[in-house]
Amino acid sequence: MTINTTYFIRVNSLMNLYYNVCNQYYSDPISPQTIPQSAFNHTMNLLPISEVFQLYEELECYTKNPNFMLEAVRHFRVEDLGGLGQWMFSGHDLMSTIRKVNYGMGCIQSGAFWVAAPAGSIIKWTYNNQYDAEHLDVHDSIRVAVLMLKILKILKILKKYLGVDFAPMRVLLSGERADENLYRDYFGCDVTWNHHQTEIWFHSNLRLANLAENQDTKQTFSLNFEDLDRCLDMPDPSDDTKLVYEAINYSCHFGLPTLERVSKLFGLSTQTFQRRFHKYGHNFTEMCGFVLSNKAVKMLSQSMPVDEVAHKLGYSHLDSFTHMFKKHRGMTPKQYLKSLE
């Protein structure tokens, strides 16, 4: 379909950031407008990267603090990543943990590459985001660099091997900030700006150290079926149908999906989007019905009343919801509920 490349990121990697900023700068009922708060209700929800960068721009403008990101993400917790995070930190040494983080992040964010590679006596841990947000790249770079440092400091090995005052050899960030000393003090080393990717350097001798002796690498990993399904269901950037499905799914947080909103997520006019969509036999209304009926089934399976399901999906008339559901499921919502008894 040649849809413009769209990447996604899961809420669990942004939840701590989002609520820290909200708690510090916002007060009920005011909240950031770019992304509806309902999108943050489930840690495995997918957010379009383009929307996330718009959120960064909104937060910088609202807080009047160009360094809001450094303040917001410095309290990262492993628990924020759920069961996947537990697995990432189950390695027996530093490099096995970094290896798990590098490919585990593929389940959390698409279009981004995490790599750790030796360069002489240095290990360079790098993050490269394929989405180009120009002047907003600096926020994403700071977010990830802080996350990398937190991961290194969280590991018991570094506390045991180097002490709690561990600092990397060097940090390289995309973009620039005026208060360079703030970042030099935080990372404890020189910081290079306007780099093409995010990097943290540390001495290669750290790879030789093992984790604390009581680290149980054979502990049971627990993830319920729903979270496992979501975890493995990261859209491939080349799978146009899946990208559109998830864009429509995300748009449901604003109410019933519209062609204008979904087209905008791909950076296309409605005419161009429809033309490419129809070329491959797809129909926007049909795809919306497919997404909405799937969401309805999930809510009905949780014993949610039919009228409440219709309201949550954005329908103002119950008959319209019933018609959509029957068209895609072959029965009315009430009949579906009865079939579950």
Residues 9-38: tens digit of each pLDDT: 999 999 989 999 999 998 877 889 999 999
Q: Is residue 300 part of a domain?
A: yes
Where residue 292 sits, what CATH number does that domain have?
1.10.10.60
Residues 190 and 245 in one domain: no
Domain end point (choices 185, 208, 231): 208
Q: Are residues 292 and 144 in the same domain?
A: no
pTM of the predicted protein model? 0.90
Convert the pLDDT of each residue in 254-271 to its tens digit: 999 999 999 999 999 999
Which pLDDT does position 160 carry in this prediction? 55
Q: What type of residue is 12?
A: N
* Bridge-based pairing state of the strands 191-192 and 170-172: parallel
Residues 249 and 294 in one domain: yes
Provide the pLDDT for residue 178. 95
Which spans in the chain are helix H? 15-25, 49-63, 68-73, 82-88, 94-104, 137-154, 156-161, 180-187, 225-232, 240-251, 259-265, 270-279, 284-301, 306-312, 318-329, 333-339
Q: What pLDDT is recorded for position 216?
A: 55
The two three-digit tokens of residue 140, written as one number: 């994403």
208, 226, 255: which is the final residue of a domain? 208
Q: Which helix (H) or strand (E) holds 8?
A: strand 8-10
Q: Within this chain, do residues 38 and 140 fall inside the same structural domain, yes or no?
A: yes
| Domain of 333, in residue numbers | 239-339
Helix (H) or strand (E) run with residue 127 in it: strand 122-129
Whether 3 maps to a domain, the answer reads: no
259 and 181 within one domain: no
Q: Write the CATH number for 66.
A: 3.90.1520
Tell me, yes or no, whether 114 lies in a domain: yes
Pair (190, 305) in one structural domain: no
State the total domains in the chain. Answer: 2
Using CA atoms, how far apart are residues 232 and 5, in angstroms rounded to an integer?
A: 20
pLDDT for the residue 224:
74
The answer on 195 and 68 residing in a single domain is yes
Residues 72, 170: one domain? yes
Q: What are the C-alpha distances in Å from 129 to residues 71, 88, 112, 156, 334?
A: 22, 20, 4, 29, 46
DSSP state of 234: P
43 with 156, same domain?
yes
Extract the tokens encoding 9: 């990121």
What is the pLDDT at residue 213?
A: 47
Instruction: For residue 285, tell me if it sits in a domain.
Output: yes
Backbone angles phi, psi at 43, to 5 degrees: -60, -25
pLDDT < 50 positions in the chain = 1-2, 212-214
